[in-house]
Amino acid sequence: MESPSPASARFSAAPWQDAPVATGGESLFVIGDVHGCTPLLAAMLDGIAALAPPPRSRLVFLGDLIDRGPDSIGSLRLWAREQPVPGIDRVHRLMGNHEQMLLLACGTGPDAMAAQELWLSLNGDTMLAELRAAAGQPEAPPGPALLRQALGEAVPARLRAQQGHLRLGNLVLVHGGVDPRRPMQEFLGLPWDALAARPGHWAWITHGFLDWRDGFDGQVVVHGHTPPAKHRAISGLAEPVGLAEGRLCLDGGSAVTGAVAGAQLEDGRFRLLWSHAA
């Protein structure tokens, strides 16, 4: 898909729906996968601001800001702002599997080479090309120096400070999902850099989560990671983006479909938020 221009990105909020959601009296704004579609992210942030968030609000990014789309660096710069939405000062940045791969591929640990190979095979080449162009070094290898030269200090610091998950009320917010066959806290406690744990890692899981039919003990798992076509093939749901069987999926497909999905959740209700390429 070609990158939409800012003028062609539009925001919409669906009607409220009753739902078994408990947020402790807060209003929670959640944004799914962006994958370098900066105009769509900008439209989503502006749209949330226009909804006049109430005083007790939080903003949560579900991860996968980067790769695939044309402007991962621009998306990261919006994401890394102190207040991406004016007036919401509680911001949670959750790690996606693409951020995991980026950090490992640009690190110095024992998994760096394996992470580089995996990252480049999963559209990391788009981000690497951006980093090299921004640093003015077309042949630079992935590494801490390239991140610093291309992104400065603040964005890499935000990347390193990402959370694995957030629990609030009866909500569990995580990039990929959970494994209902394992104790939830144990599963969510897997280290962020446990690349060898995929696909059974909270940043990667699909099978065993999306096809689970027995709920999550009254909890609602809010996640991204799996775009509609892939989700549909695993879950069998005709409309993957939305609330079903204890899961609220917010991966609209971004770079593939031209849509970034989000949601506003409050006690007893939620509504989907969308930014589309016109």
Structural domain spans, the chain: 6-96+163-277
Q: How far apart (Å, rounded) are the C-alpha atoms in residues 149 and 120?
A: 20
Confidence at residue 176, expressed as pLDDT on a 0 to 100 scale: 98
Confidence at residue 1, expressed as pLDDT on a 0 to 100 scale: 32
Confidence at residue 49, expressed as pLDDT on a 0 to 100 scale: 98
Q: How far apart (Å, rounded) are the C-alpha atoms in residues 106 and 151?
A: 13
Confidence at residue 3, expressed as pLDDT on a 0 to 100 scale: 39
Which two three-digit tokens encode residue 22?
């408990």
Per-residue pLDDT of the chain (278 residues; tens, 9 = 90+): 333 344 479 999 999 999 999 999 999 999 999 999 999 999 999 999 999 999 999 999 999 999 999 999 999 999 999 999 999 999 999 999 999 999 999 998 888 999 999 999 999 999 999 999 999 999 999 999 999 999 999 999 999 999 999 999 999 999 999 999 999 999 999 999 999 999 999 999 999 999 999 999 999 999 999 999 999 999 999 999 999 999 999 999 999 999 999 999 999 999 999 999 98
Confidence at residue 238, expressed as pLDDT on a 0 to 100 scale: 96
Q: How far apart (Å, rounded) are the C-alpha atoms in residues 175 and 96?
A: 5
Give the helix ranges, DSSP H, for 106-257.
112-119, 125-135, 144-151, 154-160, 184-188, 228-235
Q: Give the domain 6-96+163-277 fold.
A: Purple Acid Phosphatase; chain A, domain 2 (3.60.21)
Catalytic site residue from 98, 175, 201, 225: 98
Confidence at residue 172, expressed as pLDDT on a 0 to 100 scale: 98
Closest CA to 32 of 251, 241, 271: 251
Contact of 224 with 251, CB cutoff 8 Å: yes
Distances (CA, A) of 230 to 222, 226, 241: 17, 6, 12
Confidence at residue 111, expressed as pLDDT on a 0 to 100 scale: 87
Respond yes or no: is residue 165 known to be catalytic. Answer: no
